[in-house]
């Protein structure tokens, strides 16, 4: 695997004035030769008044200035240039501002699949291609993934989506170890999201002992995000990409089972509420029976206690208002 090497490029301002002086000198010498020839024609001199070696020197200086001018490039903050000399990786320049380097360094790094910031698209045998420049952005980027339909740990179809913040941390790996690192990030993000979604259940099931300690997609967002980030770090490391953050942006049951799961959640909520009501009613009945039996003012046998407990449970657990019934006879009549 490739490893990024730091390279430094000289400031371009000094070389700018050198190249500018070479252009000025070559143009001045060429004008001098042309004017000398014109004067010779006017004076009808038998010998040419201009020097052939001087003309050759002028052409050489002009060609050298044109050649050196190809070494200029500029980098903004958050950019880096990958220097390749005749197919050999030399290093990566991260110095900002106007710089000058070897003019023989490659300007383009070949064709790649059209990505997020593709330029100069060309139609090739493999489809739409783009010319990958030697300047690579190392700024933070955001990938907003599409909604995917996957099966969770329980086999239920769900819809899930994620947003990933990433940056290029190793330009050598990003350029030389993968064909197109942007497409690689997109595909590996989808694969990692499918993998993480398949190892966790969407929500807790009926088994309370197991669900108390298990991680679910709906209830443990932070844990799931950490697991997704770790999976992305492992998958994107060969491409020299570092993941800063990964979060779920959409999570829901698939439409074909959404209604059934909603009814199950509603039933679970009703059962939980009923359980709470019954627990409170039982404690209130016990307290009422104990308070009535204290002091011996009212003697309640087992049958009367059972009848009172039944009436109190109906009143406390009923959904509608209780309708009092006056009993004018005896309980044993």
3-state SS string for 77-138: CCEEEEEEECCEEEEEECCCEEEECCCCCCCEEEEEECCCCCCCEEEECCEEEEEEECEEEC
The DSSP secondary structure of 31-46, one letter per residue, reads HHHHHHHHHHHHHT-S
pLDDT digits (tens, 9 = 90+) for 123-164: 444 445 556 778 999 999 999 988 998 888 888 888 899 999
Environment class of residue 266 by beta-carbon count within 10 Å: exposed (0-12), middle (13-18) or buried (19+)?
exposed
For residue 199 the two structure tokens come to 């190892």
pLDDT digits (tens, 9 = 90+) for 13-65: 999 999 999 999 988 888 877 777 666 555 444 555 456 777 888 889 999 99
At 237 the pLDDT is: 92
Is the pLDDT confidence value at 266 over 80?
A: no
At 155 the pLDDT is: 82
Averaged pLDDT of the chain: 79
* pTM (two decimals): 0.68
At 242 the pLDDT is: 94
Top pLDDT among 206 and 294 is at 294
Percent of all residues in the chain with a pLDDT value above 70, rounded to a whole number: 72
> Which domains occur in the chain, in start order?
6-106 (no CATH), 139-253 (3.30.479.30), 263-317 (no CATH)
Mean pLDDT of 247-267: 76
Q: Residue 247 to residues 109, 244, 250, 252: CA-CA distances in angstroms?
A: 33, 10, 9, 15
Minimal CA–CA distance to 188: which of 138, 228, 160? Answer: 228
At 65 the pLDDT is: 92
Confidence of residue 115 (pLDDT cuts 50, 70, 90): very low
């Amino acid at each position: 695997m490739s490893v990024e090497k730091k390279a430094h490029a000289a400031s371009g301002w000094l070389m700018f004035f050198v190249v500018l002086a070479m252009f000025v000198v070559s143009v001045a010498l060429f004008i001098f030769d042309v004017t000398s020839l014109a004067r010779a024609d006017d004076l009808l001199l038998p010998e040419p008044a201009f020097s052939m070696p001087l003309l050759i020197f002028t052409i050489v200086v002009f060609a050298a200035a044109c050649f050196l001018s190809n070494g200029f490039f500029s980098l903004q903050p958050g950019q880096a240039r990958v220097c390749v000399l005749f197919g050999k990786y030399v290093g990566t320049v991260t110095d900002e501002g106007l710089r000058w380097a070897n003019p023989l360094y490659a300007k383009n790094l070949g064709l790649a699949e059209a990505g997020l910031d593709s330029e100069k698209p060309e139609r090739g045998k493999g489809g739409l291609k783009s010319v990958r420049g030697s300047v690579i952005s190392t700024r933070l980027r955001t990938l907003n993934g599409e909604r995917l339909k996957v099966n969770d740990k329980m086999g239920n179809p769900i819809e899930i989506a994620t947003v990933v913040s990433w940056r290029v941390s190793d330009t050598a790996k990003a350029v030389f170890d993968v064909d197109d690192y942007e497409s690689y990030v997109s595909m590996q993000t989808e694969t990692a999201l499918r993998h993480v979604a398949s190892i966790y259940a969407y929500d807790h099931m009926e088994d309370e002992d197991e669900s108390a300690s298990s991680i679910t997609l709906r209830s443990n967002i932070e844990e799931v995000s950490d697991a997704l980030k770790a999976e992305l770090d492992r998958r994107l490391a060969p491409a020299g990409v570092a993941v800063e953050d990964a979060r779920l942006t959409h999570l829901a049951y698939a439409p074909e089972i959404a209604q059934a799961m909603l009814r199950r959640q509603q039933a679970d909520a009703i059962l939980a509420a009923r359980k709470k009501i019954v627990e409170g009613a039982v404690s209130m009945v016990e307290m009422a029976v104990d308070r009535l039996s204290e002091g011996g003012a009212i003697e309640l046998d087992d049958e009367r206690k059972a009848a009172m407990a039944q009436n109190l449970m109906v009143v406390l657990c009923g959904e509608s208002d209780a309708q009092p019934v006056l009993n004018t006879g005896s309980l044993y009549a």
